[in-house]
Every structure is written in structure tokens, then in C-alpha cells.
Amino acid sequence: MDAISLDPNVHVMESKDLDFYYGDSQALFGVSMKIPRNYVTALIGPSGCGKSTYLRCLNRMNDLIDRSRMVGSISFGGEEINDPALDVFRLRQKVGMVFQKYNPFPKSIYENVIYGLRIAGIKSKSILDETVERSLQRAALWDEVKDRLNGTALGLSGGQMQRLCIARAIANNPEVLLMDEPASALDPRSTARIEELITELRGKYTIVIVTHNMQQATRVSDFTGYFYEGVLKEHGTTEQIFTNPKEKHTEDYISGRFG
């Protein structure tokens, strides 16, 4: 993966020869990938190629799947993730996740944002208030909801709910944000807002985003990884992948010849 000409010191996560199995069927084959700190990395590839699976490996959300198995290594800040003794709860606080379908809790907006803090046992009202305001501002939602923080989160629009989920993930002060097609369930305007938001968050957090939308990948990401049938076919800067792909396969995909 020499295409990424960045200092290895700035790679916040790195997977080496990662295999993943759902029961007996293998979904990932020897994926080795470095995720650079404070940049946006996009994962693209045809449906069912293992993008989401890979993403979920990064915060061990795959643990929840019965009979699943991960082989290989993922390091996060020098620490091995694929280790039964690892404290997954702390890992997930540091590696937040935003899902394809927005999923706010049936609680107030305020309670949604500070959920992670409550989990961590933080009780100070001033810290909570400040976190709510800062996170919502970062998620570009503050102005829209500041008068109804105690209203139910289920009363928001789809786009607002997805931004609330981003705010909720940000509130945990994570180092990495994993986003699995965060805009695919939204209308064009909301999609645009989410993209704007990702651009704003760029530089503050490391973001890994799965998308099917090539334009979106070019608009928001710095690096792109192309998956095909569980294999990381190509990985490089977004500009290089989209303008000058090394692999014929990649070129075929981004030019829409299959998928």
C-alpha cells in the first residue's frame, strides 16, 4: 500500500491480514489497510463486498454476531484490538459509529447527546450542558434544536436525526468516526448537509465512511479503499483512485461498468 505517501506515525488504525468469517463463510480475505489520522477515508465497492463488515471490525461491533470470527490483527494507537482481553467498551467510546439508518433513542434530544457520558458515569451538569452544546454545534444542529433540547428526539426530521446521531457519537470525544452510508436514507438536501458536516469534521476526527455514491466519495474523502469480494483491491488517495486507478478492475467499477 505504498500509494499512501503518509508517515506511518500518523496512521491511527491499521489492519494486517484481516480475515473475517460469518460462521463458515468467509467475508474478508487478508485485508491490510492503514487509516490515516484526521483524514477522511472512503470505502467503496459493489454491494456485498464486505465494506460494512470491515467497518464493524474496526470497533468490534461484529462481536454481537453469533458464530462470527475475526483472524488477523487490527491495531489502534499501537494497541491490538483483536484480543479477547481488550476492553471493548473503551474501544467503542474512542471509535464511534454512525449507522445507515438513523437510530436516536426514544429519549429527549439532550439525553440522546449525553448518552455516552451517562454510560461513562459523568454526572456534572455543567460538563453535560457544555458537551451537548458543543456536540450539537459541531454536528451543525444546534441552531435548529437549541430551543427544544428536552423535546423527544423522535420529533426531528430524518436528516436532523442523522445529524443528532453524529452529535451523539462526537459527544464521546472519539478519535475515529465510522460511518456506514450515513446519507443513503436521506433526501438530497439532507445529504448535502451531511456532506458539509463531514467536510467540517475533517481534520478534527479520523473518519471512515462507506458509500455507494462516487461523487460523494470524491467530494468528502481524502483517501479511498476499493473492496471487491472481500478483498481490498486498491487503496490510495481519492484523487489517484478516481483519476488514475492502478487496477483495471477499479476503473471498471468507478466508471460504472458493473456494480
Partner 1 sequence: MPAPPTADEAIGNEMFQTAPQVEKLAPFSAEDPKIIRTFQRAKRIDLMARWGISAGGILVIFCVVGMMVFIAAVGMPLFITPSVAKLSQFDRSLQEKILAVGVDEYLETGFSLDQRGVWSFYYMKDGKVFNQVTTKPVAKKNLQLHSIETYDNKIYSLLWADGSTTVTEVKFLPKFNEGVRTITHQINRIADFPAEQNQQVLQSFARISGEDDSKRVTLVRQLGNNKIQVIQQLVEEDLMGNTEEKNYSNDFQYPLEDPITVMTVDRLGNAVYAGTQTGQLLQWNISEPGEASLVGQVQAFENAMAITALAVVFGESSVAVGDEKGNLTVWFPGKIQKTGEPGPLKKVHIYDSYKNPIARLLPSTRNKSFTSLDEGGNIRLNHMTSERKLLDLSSAQPYRIFGFSTRDNGLVTLDDHNQISLWELDIPHPEVSWRTLFGEVWYEGYQEPEHIWQSSASTDDFEPKFSLTTLVFGSLKGTFYAMVFSIPLALFGAIYTSEFCKDTYRRYLKPGIEIMAAMPSVIIGFLIALWLAPIVEQYVISFFLSTLLIPLVTVFFLFVWQAIRENPWCKRIEGGYEFLLIVPVIIFGCWLSVVLQAPIERMLFNGNFQLWLYQETGMRYDQRNSIIIGYGLGFLVIPLIFTICDDALTNVPKSLKAASLSLGASRWQTLWRVVLPSASPGIFAAIIIGFGRAIGETMVVLMATGNTPIMDWSVFNGMRTLAANIAVELPEAPVDGTLYRILFLSGALLFLITFFLNTFAEVIRQRLRKSYGQF
Ligand X SMILES: Nc1ncnc2c1ncn2[C@@H]1O[C@H](COP(=O)(O)OP(=O)(O)OP(=O)(O)O)[C@@H](O)[C@H]1O
Tell me if 69 contacts partner 1 by CB under 8 A.
no
For residue 58, count CB atoms less than 10 angstroms from its CB and return exposed for 0-12, middle for 13-18, buried for 19 or more.
Answer: buried
What string of DSSP letters covers 80-140?
ESS-TTS-HHHHHHHEEEE-SS----SSBHHHHHTHHHHHTT---HHHHHHHHHHHHHHTT
- According to DSSP, residue 237 is labeled E
State which of residues 53, 135, 160, 172 lies at the interface with partner 1 (CB under 8 A): 172
Tell me if 256 contacts partner 1 by CB under 8 A.
yes
State which of residues 15, 53, 162, 172 lies at the interface with ligand X (CB under 6 A): 53
Closest-approach residue to Mg ion (CB): 52
Q: Which does 59 bind (CB under 5 to 8 A by kind): Mg ion, ligand X, partner 1, none?
A: partner 1
What SS3 state is found at 17?
strand
What SS3 state is found at 52?
helix
Minimum distance from residue 7 beta carbon to Mg ion (Å)? 31
Of the pair 47, 126, the CB lying nearest ligand X is at 47
Q: Half-sphere exposure of residue 190, counting CA atoms within 13 Å on the CB side?
A: 17
Of the pair 49, 141, the CB lying nearest ligand X is at 49
State which of residues 15, 41, 93, 221 lies at the interface with partner 1 (CB under 8 A): 93
* Spatial distance between the Cα atoms of 167 and 27, rounded to a whole number of angstroms: 31
Of the pair 110, 227, the CB lying nearest ligand X is at 227
Minimum distance from residue 53 beta carbon to ligand X (Å)? 3
**All residues at 6 or more sequence positions from 30 whose CB lies less than 8 Å from its CB, including other chains:** 17, 18, 19, 72, 231
Which residues of this chain interact with partner 1, rule CB under 8 A? 59, 61, 64, 66-67, 84-85, 89-90, 92-93, 96-97, 99, 101, 103-106, 115-116, 118-120, 152, 154, 165, 168-169, 172, 183-188, 191, 211-216, 254-257
Which residues of this chain interact with ligand X, rule CB under 6 A? 22, 27, 45, 47-53, 65
